[in-house]
Amino acid sequence: MGLLSDPNRRKAITSLLTRLNTPICVVCYLAGIAWFMGLAFEPFTLRTYMSENAMGSTMVEERFPSGERALATAREFAAHKKKVGGMPVDWLVKTMRAQGLEVFTQSFSRNLPFPDESKERFVVRGTNVYGILRAPRAPRTEALVLSAPCSPGNSNNQAVGLLLGLAQYFRSQIYWAKDIIFLVNEHDLIGVQAWLEGYHHTNITGMGYTPLQGRAGSIQAALSLELNSDVVTSLDLVLEGLNGQLPNLDLANLFHAFCQKLGILCTIQGKLQRSDWDTVEGYTHSAQTMLLMVLKQASGRPWGEHGLFLRYHIEAASIRGVNSFRQYKTDATSIGRLFEGMVRKLNNLLERLHQSYFFYLMPSLTRFVSIGYYMPAFGLLTTILLLRALDLWVHLGTPTPVTEDGVGEGESPSSPGLLSVLTPVVISHLTGVALYTLPVLSQEMAVEHFPVSETEAVVLTAIAIYTAGLALPHNTHRLISGEGTEQGWRVLKLVALLYLAVLLGCTALINFSLGFILAVTLVPAAACVTPHVPKALSAVAMVLLSPGCTILYCVFLFQELQEVPVSLAEGWMLFLSVISQGILDHALYGSLVYPLLALLVYPCWLLFWNILFWK
């Protein structure tokens, strides 16, 4: 406590921090970025290991025999699907019932706020079919879910076939201690959302659905299966869920352990693991994998059907079959065995998965970075904001030499009116509210007056409000509070810096990737901006570092990392669709990225914009 009470030492530290503020900030920024990039370097990461005792030591034997039969079922399913022109509900009910499951259906409907052009849907009606295999060995208080989507067209038939094959096989086994629910859902995530809301008796997104007739116990874990071909070369594990939530790391470990055991190639982010970590290519590869995970997590959208389960405290992952041009193929029997093994181990669980990590990044399937390793990178970036705030505080308090000790010359300067600080804050937030509400509300009007479709209208309105916000605040605050003072912008900047620091800190705790990406672009802008820098140049820099442009860069980076680079025009179209998807995700599933950006981050950035044009 000596540091907090000894005036001399405090004075020394404060003067050091104010004198060397800029160099320390630059060093912090570079160190933060370097630390983050270093996370992908294999020696700095930890090896994954199974923490859950119930899944580690218990041996299970996989005996699933009927891969061919499952594929035959898949073909039958495809034929019925074609005949009905959608989900063959009656056939599914009949087949599941024939296998001895308790079968129920749930119909749901949902009107989208505006048409979804990428999936071509506006008014969605559909039916979920699920069968429950009751556990013979336990009091049926817990359940596991295996799900497969019934996708339009010819895709994903094999997944449903395999699901039915597994159901038939599981029915004949006696060791189940948890109910197993086999769910075939229509309209991908919307169907899952309706089913989960029905199962848990909640309605958070305004979905219309019929109540579930049959229920099992509380769901412990869920696996979602996506399979498009009879044979696959590798299986891809998808972990990123709604709002960047991740399942317990043990689920990934379980998947990896069974892939090793059965000799199936497994990938994460579609990237195979490389063994040459000490070469440049090896490092680049794992850095790419990690960056892909960061970008996917930051988007806050569910990247597979499992993504919505996570919100209900259910550990879930999607497993996606990939068929590429490799020689080595895996047949449906092996995939079935993989699922059998995973479900049997999950069946052995005594409590929910909780032993392993929930906060992690994966540069490869066998390596992970835990929260303790990646948080310092973010911490270094936030330190800059706090250092700048401290600097401003010291300057504000003492125009004359530092009076930390209270015994100082000079009177405190006349404090700027509360109004001159409050006005920009209120106006920025009102702009944020406009950005959040107007695009969806005003689509009809926009469609009437401009030759655009509804989706385009929403996206373009959002961009228009975003751009208009740049002009608005710094013009209005002068009208109300008169001329801004030198003290005025300092106080405003102090408030804005602390606001940004708290905002980014909270974001990073919930969704590290989003917090970090925002920090990388927003922190330099926030740290450097004053009214005394050259206006035009710094205005351009500020716009380039604004949240909207960050999304644009992320789109290009994502395409680059996925090795499907796009041209500028295509990138722009992708950017537009990303915005409309973000708004839709918020409306449909309750993703928080859009409201966070519109209501908090953008107004905060506007405050800095306001400082730049302070007169």
Partner 1 sequence: SLISLTSVAFLLRGNCKHVRTKDSPPNICGFNLILVPDIKICRLVNVKTVIPMVQLLNWRRGLFPQTKMAAPLTLVLILSVTIRAVLFRSSLAELISERVEVVSPLNAWKRGLFCYYVLQENNISLFFQTPLVIYLFHFVVDYAEIVFMIVDGITAVALYLAVQNYNKNVFRKQKYALEADRYPHDCLELMRSPKEMHYIPLKVAMFYLLNPFTILSCVAKSTCGLNNAVMALFILSTLKGSALLSAIFLALATYQSIYPLTLFAPGLLFLLQRLYIPVNPCRSRFWFFTVQYSVMFIGSLLVIVCLSFFLLGSWDFIPSVYGFILSVPDLTPNIGLFWYFFAEMFEHFRFFFICVFQINVFFYTIPLSVKLKEHPVFLIFMQIAIISIFKSYPTVGDIALYMAFLPVWSHLYRFLRNIFLVSCVLLACTALFPVLWHLWIYAGSANSNFYYAITLLFNVGQILLVSDYFYAYLRREHHLSQGLYLRRKDGSEATLVLK
Parallel, antiparallel, or unpaired: how do β-strands 102-116 and 142-150 relate?
A: unpaired
Find the binder of partner 1 among 146, 268, 389, 421 (CB under 8 A): 389
Q: Nearest approach, Cβ of 358 to partner 1 (angstroms)?
A: 3
- What is d(CA 184, CA 106) in angstroms, rounded to the nearest whole number? 11
Q: Which two tokens mark 596?
A: 């966070």
3-class state of residue 108 by DSSP: strand
Give Cβ neighbours of residue 218 (< 8 Å, ≥ 6 apart).
141, 142, 143
User: How many CB atoms lie under 10 A from the CB of residue 178?
Assistant: 26
Give Cβ neighbours of residue 475 (< 8 Å, ≥ 6 apart).
none
Q: Nearest approach, Cβ of 246 to partner 1 (angstroms)?
A: 8
Nearest alpha carbon to residue 255 among 242, 269, 243, 238? 238
Q: How many residues bind partner 1 (CB under 8 A)?
A: 36
> Do 156 and 226 meet the contact criterion of CB atoms below 8 Å apart?
yes
If binding is defined by CB under 8 A, does position 350 make contact with partner 1? Answer: no
Please identify, using beta-carbon distances, which residue of 371 and 552 lies nearer to partner 1: 371
If binding is defined by CB under 8 A, does position 373 make contact with partner 1? Answer: no
> Do 594 and 466 meet the contact criterion of CB atoms below 8 Å apart?
no
If binding is defined by CB under 8 A, does position 458 make contact with partner 1? Answer: no
If binding is defined by CB under 8 A, does position 56 make contact with partner 1? Answer: no
Please identify, using beta-carbon distances, which residue of 404 and 456 lies nearer to partner 1: 404
CA 356 to chain centre: 20
- CA dihedral for 89, 92, 98, 103, sign (positive or negative): negative
If binding is defined by CB under 8 A, does position 351 make contact with partner 1? Answer: no
Nearest alpha carbon to residue 441 among 123, 207, 120, 113? 113
If binding is defined by CB under 8 A, does position 568 make contact with partner 1? Answer: no
Parallel, antiparallel, or unpaired: how do β-strands 102-116 and 179-186 relate?
A: unpaired
Please identify, using beta-carbon distances, which residue of 408 and 571 lies nearer to partner 1: 408
Q: Nearest approach, Cβ of 357 to partner 1 (angstroms)?
A: 9
Find the binder of partner 1 among 154, 412, 437, 475 (CB under 8 A): 412
If binding is defined by CB under 8 A, does position 2 make contact with partner 1? Answer: yes
If binding is defined by CB under 8 A, does position 501 make contact with partner 1? Answer: yes
Please identify, using beta-carbon distances, which residue of 18 and 228 lies nearer to partner 1: 18
If binding is defined by CB under 8 A, does position 19 make contact with partner 1? Answer: no
Residue ranges in 107-153 assigned as alpha helix (H): none
Find the binder of partner 1 among 59, 280, 407, 479 (CB under 8 A): 407
* φ, ψ at 529 (rounded to 5°): -70, 130
Q: Nearest approach, Cβ of 503 to partner 1 (angstroms)?
A: 8
- What is d(CA 133, CA 164) in angstroms, rounded to the nearest whole number? 12
Find the binder of partner 1 among 91, 358, 553, 556 (CB under 8 A): 358
> Do 196 and 309 meet the contact criterion of CB atoms below 8 Å apart?
yes
Find the binder of partner 1 among 204, 506, 533, 540 (CB under 8 A): 506
Residue 266: in which H helix or E strand, if any? strand 265-268
Q: Nearest approach, Cβ of 390 to partner 1 (angstroms)?
A: 7
Please identify, using beta-carbon distances, which residue of 7 and 136 lies nearer to partner 1: 7
SS (H, E, C) 41-82: CHHHCEECCCCCHHHHCCCCCCCCCCHHHHHHHHHHHHHHHH
- Tokens 């680059």 label which residue? 560
Listed ranges 189-197, 293-301, 405-413, 465-473: which one lies at the site for partner 1 (CB under 8 A): 405-413
Q: What part of residues 520-559 is at the interface with partner 1 (CB under 8 A)? A: none
Please identify, using beta-carbon distances, which residue of 249 and 446 lies nearer to partner 1: 249
Residue 127, CA atoms < 13 Å, CB-side half-sphere? 13
Q: Nearest approach, Cβ of 504 to partner 1 (angstroms)?
A: 11
Listed ranges 18-26, 193-201, 321-329, 389-397: which one lies at the site for partner 1 (CB under 8 A): 389-397
- What is d(CA 138, CA 497) in angstroms, rounded to the nearest whole number? 56
Please identify, using beta-carbon distances, which residue of 299 and 334 lies nearer to partner 1: 299
If binding is defined by CB under 8 A, does position 153 make contact with partner 1? Answer: no
If binding is defined by CB under 8 A, does position 393 make contact with partner 1? Answer: yes
> Do 487 and 614 meet the contact criterion of CB atoms below 8 Å apart?
no
Please identify, using beta-carbon distances, which residue of 509 and 533 lies nearer to partner 1: 509
- What is d(CA 150, CA 159) in angstroms, rounded to the nearest whole number? 9
If binding is defined by CB under 8 A, does position 119 make contact with partner 1? Answer: no
Please identify, using beta-carbon distances, which residue of 405 and 444 lies nearer to partner 1: 405
Q: What part of residues 280-339 is at the interface with partner 1 (CB under 8 A)? A: 310-311, 313
Chain contacts with partner 1 (rule: CB under 8 A): 2, 4-8, 10, 245-246, 310-311, 313, 352, 354, 358-359, 386, 389-390, 393, 403-408, 411-412, 498, 501-503, 505-506, 509-510
